[in-house]
Amino acid sequence: MARLFLSFIVFIMLCVMLTSVAYAGSGEDPKAFVICERIKRQSICEEYRLNMLSASDRQLITKHCITGKRCPDENRIGRCIRYQDPDGLVFDKHYYVGSKKKHDWNASTIKETCIQSGGKYEDG
């Protein structure tokens, strides 16, 4: 029984460690990412981790987006870490000011949308 409990604790620690590696900060290698940059049109930039995508999603996203880059920090209002879209894709969604949109994003809208999509909101 003690061995089972110890195995369970080790498993939980491993899961936490792997999750933190998968969602580490900006020090990650840009080659591990693909971004769909729509800042000028929609004031958003979506950042996908290549290792988190299925083969079919990776093929589709890399066909239409830019690999080896990260979403810029400049003019960013906030971001949603681990945003989940209706298709089940998980990515980081960055929101910006100063696009050609009629209205810029605001922090309260971003935060509410983020939480409703299962993500974690971060300022700027």
- Rounded CA-CA distance 104/18 in Å is 35
* Containing structural domain, residue 107: 28-123
Residue 1 in domain? no
- Rounded CA-CA distance 96/32 in Å is 23
Segment holding 92, helix H or strand E: strand 90-96
Cβ atoms of 122 and 84 within 8 Å: the answer is no
Residue 15 in domain? no
pLDDT more than 90, % of the chain: 54
- Rounded CA-CA distance 116/33 in Å is 24
Q: Which of 11-15, 90-94, 100-104 has the lowest mean pLDDT?
A: 11-15
Can you give the pLDDT at residue 87?
86
pLDDT digits 0-9 by tens, 26-58: 567 888 999 999 998 889 999 999 999 999 999
What pTM did the predictor assign?
A: 0.72
Give how many domains the chain has, as a whole number.
1
